[in-house]
Amino acid sequence: MSNSAGLQTQMGLTTSESPFIEQAQRAGQLYIHQPYELYSEENHESWRRLYARMVPRWERYANRHFLKGIASLCLDA
């Protein structure tokens, strides 16, 4: 794990050159497993906060197709 400005991140989760991505590409996989277990609780909380901040903006500015797509994901706000 690296530490920058007090934030810890799991190595390889923010790059297209992660070992699990490279392995999937070599195997010709069209879809890959998202390794949620590698994300820390802090990572999840960051995404929860971002999502909660974006919802009002989407409701105001996004088109109906985008909103329908977001709704189909069934994410918690």
Residue 35: what pLDDT?
Answer: 82
Q: Which two tokens stand for residue 2?
A: 């690296």
Q: Does residue 59 fall inside a structural domain?
A: yes
Q: Which two tokens stand for residue 68?
A: 């329908």
pTM for the structure as a whole: 0.60
Q: Does residue 77 fall inside a structural domain?
A: no
Report the domain count for the chain: 1
Q: Does residue 30 fall inside a structural domain?
A: yes
Domain encompassing residue 39: 18-72
Residue type, 48: R
The tens place of each residue's pLDDT in the chain, 77 residues long, gives 444 444 444 556 666 677 878 888 899 988 887 888 888 999 999 999 999 999 999 999 999 999 999 999 988 76
Q: Does residue 45 fall inside a structural domain?
A: yes
CB distance 40 to 65 below 8 Å: no
71 vs 19, 43, 49, 67, 74, CA distance in Å? 32, 22, 17, 6, 6
Q: Does residue 6 fall inside a structural domain?
A: no
Q: Which two tokens stand for residue 4?
A: 């920058």
